[in-house]
Amino acid sequence: MRDVAIVGCGMTKFGRREEDLLELLSEASLAAMKDAEMDQGSVDAIYVANMGAGILNHQTGVASALVDRLSLLPAPADTVENGPASGASAIKNAFLAIASGLYDLVLVAGGEKMRAVTGWEVTDFVASMTHRQGEYIYGVTLPALAGMFARLHMAKYGVKPEHLAMVALKNHENGVRNPYAHIQQAVTMEGILHRPEAVVNNPYIAEPLRMFDCCPVSDGAAAVVLCAAERAKDFPHTVVRMAGFGQATDTHAVHQREDPLDLKAVRGAAQAAFKMAGLKPKDIHVAELHDAFTILEIVESEQAGFFGVGEGHLALEKGVTRLDGKLPINPSGGLKARGHPVGATGVAQVVELVWQLRGQAEGRQVPDAANGFCCNFGGFGNNVLAFVLSRE
Amino acid sequence: MRDVAIVGCGMTKFGRREEDLLELLSEASLAAMKDAEMDQGSVDAIYVANMGAGILNHQTGVASALVDRLSLLPAPADTVENGPASGASAIKNAFLAIASGLYDLVLVAGGEKMRAVTGWEVTDFVASMTHRQGEYIYGVTLPALAGMFARLHMAKYGVKPEHLAMVALKNHENGVRNPYAHIQQAVTMEGILHRPEAVVNNPYIAEPLRMFDCCPVSDGAAAVVLCAAERAKDFPHTVVRMAGFGQATDTHAVHQREDPLDLKAVRGAAQAAFKMAGLKPKDIHVAELHDAFTILEIVESEQAGFFGVGEGHLALEKGVTRLDGKLPINPSGGLKARGHPVGATGVAQVVELVWQLRGQAEGRQVPDAANGFCCNFGGFGNNVLAFVLSRE
């Protein structure tokens, strides 16, 4: 396998956007190609990450549309879908295509136009990834699964609502420092939990999860340019290598897991990524985790191996995962504050890590970060990918 | 790049099926794994090809569902979408993943449950791959594009309605010999074109294309097991190698092409596949082309290099592409008779070629076929893939 590096990064601002899906993907792609200062004609292939254009936008063949829109014809173009982990899956396939030796330079763009529909339609769209016969027909939604999961985890490990809120507080604080974040507003424990009006301002979505425990519904796109590592020095930035990658699956229906608290796919993906990179969790300086719900950041920080099982909330309490802590998690604001346009998220995680490893993260820079880790969580943990990135 | 071979093949019967998408994908996958006589636990990863589960079945994350359904956990699983060329795109990515050295044994399953919706909804679903602003909003459908294309081609090269009908006749005749075909009924030129009742029995869909010029709307799935070539001899069948692959894109909107009759992406994909294989069109003994509309088989047979431009219909007339001709095209019955469950088609083409190259095509066997070619056509020729397969 040839080594692969990331030589270009771009993003749109996440949030409620006027643009359609193609415009968002184009904006991020052009930013990534500009960042790489590359000759447009040198793109060998493109990959698009998208989960829901069929349902949300009544659109298929998005990669074919984008490759034309970007004037990259006749470059091959494919769309990869893996629920909310579509971004990482697209990067994986671009990575393997370069590793195989067929392509040298590949553009990956992930995006979602979620606010094309509203309210229950979004929740129903996201629920389209649940088990048809075992979950969907009973009205199970992702917030419902996350709520039940949180309740179990909290009871077992003594996690309090305040711990969940700490994730939101930290990530909102980081989001304020990220110009691409959907939500750029700090919140306080008082405001979202303890003041009487919190009952109204921060209502339960799926008890014990409140509104501030759930990511917003966002439009947006992110893009990276991957390159055979041997050619990465031709590009202007500090070389960031895709040092390791892992992917693992788990039962489609959550209730079929022996222990529903044991997110095997997160652990499997992380372990594979660390093994390929030849690094350990203690070697990581910055991480982007998939906090679609606050509880997930806590649990992923454990399953990825950063903290012991049942100790994630303690690390959080001690400030270990804050921007000025020992292992900053979600300096971008995470899904919680940056937002979660599902197809974009896995790509956006990698973009944030590259910016951190290059030292370009400005107001939210983790000092001297050399190794980064990210985890993109598909389904309710049924298909998870992890990457380890290293600065050369 | 490591060489890659196909060691297992399976298909469901195409047609109007009672089963849901997962059941169809499972049936084809189990057949392919059984054909390979493999140890189930040895699957390193799976790829699903599907175009429309979001729109047709309100389902996402199909690969995550399938990997669990097949008890292949925790194998990585991704879905690849490229309109009606999703099948070939999924095979391409599985091929590159093996070529990279990461995986040795990969299952690819393509499927579509199209008859979950009916009538205009299917046409509208297929039209979801057209250009949003330049085609879709004006009511352009795929039959409409094919109709306009056929009219131009017929005027330029003297192709008659009888030539189009010859494609249907040949492919229906082949379909009778294929137990997996959706339509297993021979038709006559008289019956579909010249008898007075043909006006009713074979009405215009998009003039000059009649019903018998268009593929049916089918449910179905097909699957292949790909393997690093160095390990292919461990499996029971004659080794069939993926000798060459090519993919090319063209303008998303058909009207933006300098010459709408010039299907550049077909030519580009075919040339790349032949180049990688080190073979020429004259070396091919059997081909599966994407005859979603009869005119496409004629034009693809030219653009792939089997006949001169404007001469495809003459070869057809002479019987060159019949089962007993010099270059049999669509011995399976093609999309016209085997059917076209869009996500399955590209995989089904490869399955048919493997059966032909192994000498297992029974009633429709092309004698001593050693090299096969297939072309999977996405959009209206905006994203095309081609494979060359060779018997070892």
Q: Do strands B45-49 and B105-113 pair parallel, antiparallel, or not at all (unpaired)?
A: parallel
Residues 189-248 of chain B whose Cβ lies under 8 A from any Cβ of chain A: 247-248
- Flag if B249 and A73 touch (Cβ within 8 Å): yes
Which residue on chain A is closest to B132 by alpha carbon? A59
Mean pLDDT of B160-164: 98
Q: Where are the beta strands (DSSP E) in chain A?
A: 4-11, 45-49, 77-81, 105-113, 204-206, 209-210, 219-228, 240-249, 286-288, 371-378, 383-391
- Flag if B51 and A74 touch (Cβ within 8 Å): no
Q: Min CA distance, A152 vs chain B (Å)?
A: 24
H/E segment holding residue B243: strand B240-249
- Flag if B53 and A58 touch (Cβ within 8 Å): no
- Beta-carbon contacts below 8 Å between A and B: 203
A364 touches chain B (CB under 8 A): no
Which residue on chain B is closest to A131 by alpha carbon? B65
What's the CA gap between B229 and B240, in Å, rounded? 9
CA angle B323, B327, B331 (to 5 degrees): 40
In the numeric block, the tokens 């990220």 are attached to: A178
- Flag if B80 and A80 touch (Cβ within 8 Å): yes
Does the domain at B4-118+217-234 match CATH 3.40.640.10? Answer given as no
Which residue on chain A is closest to B47 by alpha carbon? A80
Mean pLDDT of B303-310: 98
B58 touches chain A (CB under 8 A): yes
Amino acid A91 reads: I
- Flag if A247 and B76 touch (Cβ within 8 Å): yes
Cα distances (Å, whole numbers) of residue B305 to B141, B243, B382: 28, 17, 19
Report chain B residues whose CB lies below 8 A from the CB of A258: none
- Flag if A61 and B131 touch (Cβ within 8 Å): no
What's the CA gap between A91 and A246, in Å, rounded? 12
Report chain B residues whose CB lies below 8 A from the CB of A384: none
Q: Min CA distance, A285 vs chain B (Å)?
A: 27
pTM (two decimals): 0.98
- Flag if A102 and B101 touch (Cβ within 8 Å): no
What pLDDT tens digit does each residue of chain A (392 aa) get? 999 999 999 999 999 999 999 999 999 999 999 999 998 789 999 999 999 999 999 999 999 999 999 999 999 999 999 999 999 999 999 999 999 999 999 999 999 999 999 889 999 999 999 999 999 999 999 999 999 999 999 999 999 999 999 999 999 999 999 999 999 999 999 999 999 999 899 999 999 999 999 999 999 999 999 999 999 999 999 999 999 999 999 999 999 999 999 999 999 999 999 999 999 999 999 999 999 999 999 999 999 999 999 999 999 999 999 999 999 999 999 999 999 999 999 999 999 999 999 999 999 999 999 999 999 999 999 999 999 999 98
Residue A119's pLDDT is what? 83
- Flag if A252 and B54 touch (Cβ within 8 Å): no
For helices A264-277 and A294-303, angle between their N-to-C axes, nearest 10 degrees: 50
Q: Which of A60, A79, A383 sits opposite B64 (nearest CB)?
A: A383
As for the ipTM of the complex, it is: 0.97
Confidence of residue B118 (pLDDT cuts 50, 70, 90): confident
Q: Which of B52, B65, B385 sits opposite A60 (nearest CB)?
A: B52
- Flag if A265 and B74 touch (Cβ within 8 Å): yes
- Flag if A249 and B58 touch (Cβ within 8 Å): no
A268 touches chain B (CB under 8 A): yes
H/E segment holding residue A339: none
Residues 74-93 of chain B whose Cβ lies under 8 A from any Cβ of chain A: 74-83, 89, 92-93
Q: Give the CATH class of A4-118+218-234.
A: alpha beta
Q: Min CA distance, B44 vs chain A (Å)?
A: 11
Query: CA neighbours within 13 Å on the CB side: how many for B306?
Result: 29
Q: From the CB of residue A305, how many other CB atoms can be counted at a distance below 10 Å? A: 18
